[in-house]
Amino acid sequence: MIRIVFQSGPEGRIQEFMVKGHAGYDEAGKDIVCAAVSAVAQTAVIGLMTAAGIHPEHRQQNGLLHCILPDEMSDEQIRAADIILKTMLAGLRSIRDGYPDLISIEERTVE
């Protein structure tokens, strides 16, 4: 199962996300669920860096992508990050709705 966790601050903006695990829908290299989730998550990180000019702390290895936004960002970067990450969340929810037994999404708010 792929477990996805989003962590938001008290203002409702996503500050961190983690995608962990494998769907097990098919063998490695042919798993369309893993590929879809991976593409959406990696595209969000690329968008943060190239479109928004944000340099998040991120780590990627087999079956794991963890991304943390920096504390210091301009107002424009905050708005861009919010759009990118909420779009990512919407895309992942859509994939999860098609494969609810293979993907879980948890949303946490930190005070």
Total count of domains within the chain: 1
pLDDT at 74 exceeding the cut of 90: yes
Cα separation, 24 vs 70, whole angstroms: 33
Average pLDDT, integer, range 83-92: 98
Domain encompassing residue 67: 2-109
pLDDT of 111 = 79
pLDDT of 81 = 98
Mean pLDDT, all residues of the chain: 96
pLDDT of 28 = 83
Q: Read off the CATH number of the domain in which 77 is found.
A: 3.30.70.1490
Beta-sheet pairing, 2-8 with 14-21? antiparallel
Q: What is the pTM of this model?
A: 0.94
Name residue 67's beta-bridge partners.
17, 58
Name residue 58's beta-bridge partners.
67
Tens of pLDDT along 28-72?
889 999 999 999 999 999 999 999 999 999 999 989 999 999 999
pLDDT band per the 50, 70, 90 thresholds, residue 103: very high
